[in-house]
């Protein structure tokens, strides 16, 4: 689907990718976004093929630098070890921060919260994550809640792959509310 073919209400959502991403946490949101009529776009530090923790591959079509000039209405940060790699790229950190500051969707699952810490978007926000980064989020000023999904404004977080259905209900509800406001 190219930009000319996009219809009103279709939102471009960056789905971040780096080596060692969690398969389910990338592909489940990707296909749910497609199913809901949105345009998910794989964004990596570079345009290239990345490999998951289990060896599956995903090819980004937009680099982090290019993403800064692309209009995205949201970003999804899958977990695995990828978020720790992603936070090393200033362009990735800035992408998350700018989308958050615009009031658009910022959604992270599992270890994705570590990129939110680097983007400095969790202070004073209610969040959840995989338990191993709970203290990192708290130290960054977040209010940690152990729940399958936590929605605080435009910030949506979840703990693990088992929470993906609740996570995506939250994501899609947020996008539907934005779609309704723009109609």
Rounded to whole angstroms, what are the CA distances from 157 to 46, 65, 75, 107, 135?
Answer: 25, 25, 12, 6, 15
CB distance 65 to 95 below 8 Å: no
Rounded to whole angstroms, what are the CA distances from 12 to 2, 84, 127, 132, 176?
Answer: 11, 24, 24, 31, 13
Residue 141 backbone class (left: φ over 0; alpha: ψ -120 to 50; beta: rest) = left
CA distance 131 to 133: 6
First to last CA, the chain: 22
CA-based radius of gyration for the chain: 15
Q: Would you name the residues annotated as active-site residues?
A: 110-111
């Amino acid at each position: 689907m190219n930009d000319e073919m996009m219809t009103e209400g279709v939102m471009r959502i960056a789905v971040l990718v780096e080596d060692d991403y969690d398969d389910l946490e990338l592909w489940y949101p990707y296909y749910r976004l497609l199913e809901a009529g949105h345009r998910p776009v794989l964004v990596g530090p570079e345009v290239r093929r990345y490999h998951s923790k289990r060896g599956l591959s995903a090819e980004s079509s937009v680099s982090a630098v290019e993403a800064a000039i692309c209009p995205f209405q949201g970003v999804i940060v899958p977990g695995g070890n990828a978020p720790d790699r992603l936070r090393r790229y200033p362009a990735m950190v800035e992408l998350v921060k700018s989308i958050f500051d615009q009031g658009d969707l910022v959604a992270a699952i599992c270890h994705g919260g570590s990129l939110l810490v680097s983007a400095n978007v969790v202070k004073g926000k209610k969040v959840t994550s995989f338990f191993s980064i709970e203290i990192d989020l708290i130290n960054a000023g977040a209010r940690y809640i152990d729940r399958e999904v936590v929605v605080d404004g435009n910030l949506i977080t979840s703990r693990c792959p088992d929470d993906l259905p609740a996570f995506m209900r939250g994501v899609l509800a947020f996008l539907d509310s934005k779609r309704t406001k723009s109609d």
